[in-house]
Structure formats: C-alpha cells, structure tokens
Amino acid sequence: MTVISTNSPTAELQAIDAAHHMHPFTQADGLAKKGARVITRAEGVWLTDSEGERILDGMAGLWCVNVGYGRKELAEVAARQMQELPFYNTFFQTTHVPVIQLAAKLAEVVPGDLNHVFFASGGSDANDTNLRMVRHYWSLKGKPSKNVVISRKNAYHGSTVAGASLGGMVPMHQQGSLPIPDIHHINQPNWWLEGGEMTPHDFGLARARELEEKILELGEDRVAAFIAEPIQGAGGVIVPPDSYWPEIQRICDQYEILLICDEVICGFGRTGNWFGHETVGAKPDIITIAKGLSSGYQPIGASVVSDEIASVIGSDEFNHGYTYSGHPVAASVALENIRILQDEKIVEHVRDVAGPYLKEKWEGLTAHPLVGEAKIVGMMGSIALTPHKESRARFAADPGTVGYICREFSFGNNLIMRHVYDRMIISPPLVMTTGEIDILIERAWKTLDMTHDKLKAEGMMQAAS
C-alpha cells in the first residue's frame, strides 16, 4: 500500500484521488484526465498547493474562512475541547457548556428577538430544520394547510433533498426528482440579465411583487414562509435593486408569511454588518447560519429563530435533530471565532476599510472592455462579462463558456476567482489588507486581458442574437 503524504508527488496524489474520491458538483471523468489541484497549506489569505504555488484565495475557501487561515487560537480551542469533552449529544434532556455558551453568544450578536438556536452541521441541514419547523409551527397554530414555502429561481439553499428543493437551481432539480411538493419558486431580482427595458427600481418592485402574486395564486392560507438569501451568493452575487427588500418585507408582513433569511454566506460580517438582513433592511423570523459561523474551521450550522416561533415550537415535542447538533468541538471553535470577529473588529474592518477600498477598485473593473456591471457589497462581489455593454448582451457561446475560460486563466494566475455562468465572483477572507486587495485586482485585470485576447483570437466576442 502506497504511503500517502503531503510530500507525495502531485501526479500520484491526483491519481489516487481520481481512483477513490468522489467530488461534489464534478464530472469525475473530466477531472480524472486533468487532475485535481492539491491544496496543502494556507496562511492568512494565501493557499499553497502541492507544486509550491502560492495562490490568493479570492473565495475564502467556499465563502467561509472569514477570519483567514492559520488561526492558532481556533486550533488550540479545538484541541482543548477534544481533550475535555470531545462529544456529547444534546438529546434526552442533556446539554454541555460549549453549546450553552454559543447559543447565548448567538442570541447576543443576532439582532432583534431572534434568541433561540437549533444546531446543525452545516447550511443544508439547517434549512431542512427550517422547512420542518415552519410547517410544524403553523400546524401547532391550528393552520396545518399553511405548508408551502416560496423561494426563488437561482437561489442556493443547500444540497440535501430539502435544501436543493428550496434552492432554485435547475441543474440540481433535474437530478433526483426535485423539488419535493409544496415548494414554489418565483423569479430572482437579477436586473442585468432579466431587467429588459425596466429601470432597476421598477424591476426590483416587479420581482418582489411576484411574491404577492404567488401568495394570492396559492391562497394566503396555504403559504408558510418565504426563504431568500439577502444577497444571492452561489447564484452569482446578485445584488437586488434597493426597492426589492422593503417590498418583500411589506408583503410578508401583510400576508402573515414567515420570512427566512438564509445568511449562510451573508452572515458574520460578509456584507459589512454582522448579518446580511441588516444590510438590506429586512426583519426575518428565522435565519440560517453556517460557514462564517466557524470560519469553516469546523462543520457547524444553525437556525436562529424568534421568541414567538420558539415559544410555539416549545409547546410540543419537535421530533427532529442531528447527532452532531451542538457538537462541543464545533461549538467551542465557533465561539472563539466570534470572539476574534468581535475583539479584532473585523466587521468594522469590512465596513470602514477593506469593503470601501475593494468597492472602489472592483467597480473600476467596469473600465475593462469585457466587463458590464460590477456589483459589490462588503466583501462579496461580481462582474458580468459581456460582448456588448450598452445592450447588456450575452455571448453567442453557451452560457458559462466564457466564464469558464476566465476562471481557468484566473486559477493559472494564482487567483481563486470563480464563475457562475458568465459572471465572475469573489468573496475573499474578511481580514484581507488593502495591499492584498491591490494584488487581487491586478490579477483580475490580467485575467480579464487574457480572456479578452483569447475571445478576440477565436472570434468569440459575438453577441447572442
């Protein structure tokens, strides 16, 4: 049996990976031919791969390493907790200190009356909890027919059966008979692609009012909740027009629909406030959290719910829970992560320093011939690639072809910048310095130039008719 270690040759690691490891959202045959990039270490905002390349991580892992890599405090807390109490469950009328501390801390940092926490291992299963909880809530209130959840096309709420059903990703629905019944999707507030001749303001209102139309179509007595990310992340960092969220809030209030804000990406400082719903001015009844909750150092997620929901749910046994709900090591690490965010004023750093600096530079990318709009809130940004800015044209090539070319150049330039169809996205660690932002922008420019050159050389600057 081969000894596998960090010092093994890259080709050998790639071959064993291809032979035994099934990757998420990946066509295995294609990857096996190409070989996966092997990441071996990370520090601050920098990754190192098995070839010794230093790569600037413009995606904070997977939108999660908010405090940056290499935080010894988090490693030490985990080691200590593993020695003291590596595991105990929170079923059967039992609790432990880390989960008590973390629940209390979350009640403090989450605004309003969202004071009660149901733990999960990540964002997908927290959204499963939400689906069951909102249905059970209305049932306990004597309205069992209120069991429909409305979501949005191109939303991402996870990969479990409930998470993927709540999400609005067509390629996910096409596999495994999704969505499950009683989940409906309205259109997303993506003005660049779908706004037509409308102003962003009018388009934002029109897209919000689709929620009202859907409620009226289904009947108010059928709808339990609306779920949405304050700013869509995996859908391409779609920043809604300012008119959108106030109208959504009005509709949820008017028709007594619970509002679930999925804060898995937007939470813990990403948008320049602790939570994305503060940035867009919404008042959710439930939020979903994961990722930045532990900066990705441990798998943990949660639903944080209002006093009212907790009191209704508390009147009955809620037949739901995961072995790792409130895992003590994950809870200790999350608690320490929140301490770091608070003590180092990282949310303020995003709001006052890194966010405004990145915004100015990122918006500067619109001077590039390939870039249509640039959107950015806090430390999550996107640019739309286009063959013709004025008409917001799409490329003649299949959606995503150009984005993929751009992503490949970006990875080659040692910048992790992702694509969603033909939108390029970033979501760097929140601790990024202005000097590191300069490097990110320099590499993004170089990447755009290389992409543009290739598109011109291959006659791909054609607009779709």
Positions touching ligand PXG (CB under 6 A) are 62, 122-124, 127, 156-158, 163, 229, 233-234, 262, 264-265, 290, 301
φ/ψ of residue 261, rounded to 5:
-95, 120
Q: Residue 329 and residue 204: Cα distance in Å, rounded?
A: 42
Alpha-helical segments (H) within 159-235: 161-166, 170-173, 191-194, 200-218
DSSP class of 433: -
Task: Please identify, using beta-carbon distances, which residue of 296 and 387 lies nearer to ligand PXG.
Answer: 296
Which are the contacts of 86, defined by CB distance < 8 A and separation ≥ 6? 328, 329
- Shortest Å distance, C-beta 163 to ligand PXG: 6
E strand or H helix at 54: strand 54-56
- Shortest Å distance, C-beta 151 to ligand PXG: 11
Q: What's the chain's Rg over C-alpha atoms?
A: 22
- Shortest Å distance, C-beta 172 to ligand PXG: 11
Q: Residue 379 and residue 362: Cα distance in Å, rounded?
A: 10
- Shortest Å distance, C-beta 122 to ligand PXG: 3
Task: Please identify, using beta-carbon distances, which residue of 128 and 247 lies nearer to ligand PXG.
Answer: 128
Task: Please identify, using beta-carbon distances, which residue of 233 and 387 lies nearer to ligand PXG.
Answer: 233
The long-range contacts involving 202-210, CB below 8 angstroms and separated by at least 24 positions, are 202/243, 203/241, 204/240, 204/241, 204/242, 204/243, 204/244, 204/247, 205/243, 205/244, 205/247, 207/240, 207/244, 208/243, 208/244, 208/245, 208/247, 208/248, 208/251, 209/247, 209/251, 210/186
Task: Please identify, using beta-carbon distances, which residue of 156 and 452 lies nearer to ligand PXG.
Answer: 156
User: Do 380 and 355 meet the contact criterion of CB atoms below 8 Å apart?
Assistant: no
Residue owning tokens 């179509």: 217
- Shortest Å distance, C-beta 264 to ligand PXG: 3
Q: Residue 123 and residue 129: Cα distance in Å, rounded?
A: 10
| Residue number, nearest CB to ligand PXG | 123
- Shortest Å distance, C-beta 352 to ligand PXG: 26
User: Do 229 and 189 meet the contact criterion of CB atoms below 8 Å apart?
Assistant: no
- Shortest Å distance, C-beta 402 to ligand PXG: 18
Tokens of 351: 């709001």
Burial of 401 (0-12, 13-18, 19+ CB in 10 A): middle
Task: Please identify, using beta-carbon distances, which residue of 160 and 452 lies nearer to ligand PXG.
Answer: 160
- Shortest Å distance, C-beta 40 to ligand PXG: 21
Q: Which amino acid is at 333?
A: V
Task: Please identify, using beta-carbon distances, which residue of 102 and 455 lies nearer to ligand PXG.
Answer: 102
Task: Please identify, using beta-carbon distances, which residue of 277 and 452 lies nearer to ligand PXG.
Answer: 277
Q: Residue 39 and residue 48: Cα distance in Å, rounded?
A: 6
Tokens of 144: 């069992």
What's the gap between Cα 142 and its chain centre?
A: 34
Q: Residue 246 and residue 237: Cα distance in Å, rounded?
A: 19
Q: Count CB-CB contacts under 10 A for residue 369.
A: 14
- Shortest Å distance, C-beta 158 to ligand PXG: 4
Task: Please identify, using beta-carbon distances, which residue of 379 and 455 lies nearer to ligand PXG.
Answer: 379
Task: Please identify, using beta-carbon distances, which residue of 234 and 371 lies nearer to ligand PXG.
Answer: 234
- Shortest Å distance, C-beta 125 to ligand PXG: 7
Task: Please identify, using beta-carbon distances, which residue of 60 and 251 lies nearer to ligand PXG.
Answer: 60
Task: Please identify, using beta-carbon distances, which residue of 134 and 312 lies nearer to ligand PXG.
Answer: 134
Q: Residue 22 and residue 17: Cα distance in Å, rounded?
A: 8
Task: Please identify, using beta-carbon distances, which residue of 21 and 456 lies nearer to ligand PXG.
Answer: 21
- Shortest Å distance, C-beta 62 to ligand PXG: 5
- Shortest Å distance, C-beta 174 to ligand PXG: 17
Q: Count CB-CB contacts under 10 A for residue 27.
A: 8
